């Protein structure tokens, strides 16, 4: 799909705004003293991996703990909400699996002494229907367990990604300058924005307007 020129401009402006906000937040949250040595790329990478691995370990032990470590407290209810869905399905299917299994066993063995233990909703069903329902609930239990594992894994992945982003600092690579600008032809004041992205010490990209 080809993006038109207006869409490209909007995307570029949104990207610049987002990166600038991240840069400002990074500068305010963690100011660097002039005498502080600039960390090397290797040290920064090790720090990111350390934070990410710790967050992943915490979320593996207890869902939401990695999000709390990353200070993403608002994600904790979402994590438990997602995990609660397959857990609820597992409990539901497990309950009915036990009922249908018991009913099928009583019916198939003609255990008349325990007919009163069959759930009233299962009494009208035939033996074959009970067997099919039993197998279906058993299969759904297995899928519910798989859903729990997937939800737990997504919780770990989310904590790991946030851990990497937590150690991501773009304050030295991104600068944004806003200067008042007077236009002589129109006689009006405006705001001039200059955005600079440093890929390395030798290569810089400058965007100004």
The string of pLDDT tens digits covering residues 67-122 is 999 999 999 999 999 999 999 999 999 999 999 999 999 999 988 888 999 999 99
Residues 70, 159 contacting (CB under 8 angstroms): yes
| Burial class of 138 by CB neighbour count within 10 A (0 to 12, 13 to 18, 19+) | middle
Nearest-angstrom CA–CA distance, 8 and 24:
24
Residues 46, 163 contacting (CB under 8 angstroms): no
The reported pLDDT for the residue numbered 52 is 85
Structure tokens at 132: 């099919």
The reported pLDDT for the residue numbered 206 is 47
The reported pLDDT for the residue numbered 42 is 60
The reported pLDDT for the residue numbered 33 is 46
Structure tokens at 16: 């610049």
Structure tokens at 186: 């129109």
Distance, C-alpha 158 to centroid of its chain? 4
Structure tokens at 79: 């994590």
| Other beta carbons within 10 Å of 164 | 15
The reported pLDDT for the residue numbered 209 is 53
Residues 155, 171 contacting (CB under 8 angstroms): no
Structure tokens at 175: 């600068």
Nearest-angstrom CA–CA distance, 192 and 187:
15
Q: Which positions of the chain have pLDDT values less than 70?
A: 1-48, 167-185, 187-209
Q: What is the pTM of this model?
A: 0.57
Nearest-angstrom CA–CA distance, 162 and 107:
55
The reported pLDDT for the residue numbered 165 is 83
* Residue 178 backbone dihedrals phi, psi, to 5 degrees: -120, 120
């Amino acid at each position: 799909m080809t993006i038109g020129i207006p869409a490209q401009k909007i995307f570029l402006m949104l990207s610049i705004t987002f990166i600038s906000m991240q840069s400002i937040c990074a500068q305010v949250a963690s100011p660097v003293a002039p005498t502080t040595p600039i960390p090397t790329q290797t040290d920064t990478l090790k720090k990111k991996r350390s934070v990410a691995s710790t967050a992943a370990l915490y979320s593996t032990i207890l869902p939401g703990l990695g999000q709390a470590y990353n200070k993403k407290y608002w994600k904790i209810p979402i994590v438990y909400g997602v995990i609660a869905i397959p857990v609820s399905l597992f409990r539901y299917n497990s309950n009915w699996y036990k009922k249908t299994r018991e009913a099928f066993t009583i019916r198939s063995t003609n255990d008349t002494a325990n007919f009163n233990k069959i759930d009233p909703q299962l009494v009208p069903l035939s033996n074959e229907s009970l067997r099919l329902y039993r197998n279906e609930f058993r299969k759904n239990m297995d899928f519910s367990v798989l859903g729990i594992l997937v939800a737990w894994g997504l919780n770990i992945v989310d904590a790991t990604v946030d851990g990497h982003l937590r150690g991501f600092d773009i304050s030295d690579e991104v600068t944004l300058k806003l200067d008042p600008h007077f236009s002589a032809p129109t006689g009006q004041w405006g705001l001039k924005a200059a955005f600079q992205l440093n890929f390395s010490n030798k290569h810089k990209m400058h965007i100004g307007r």
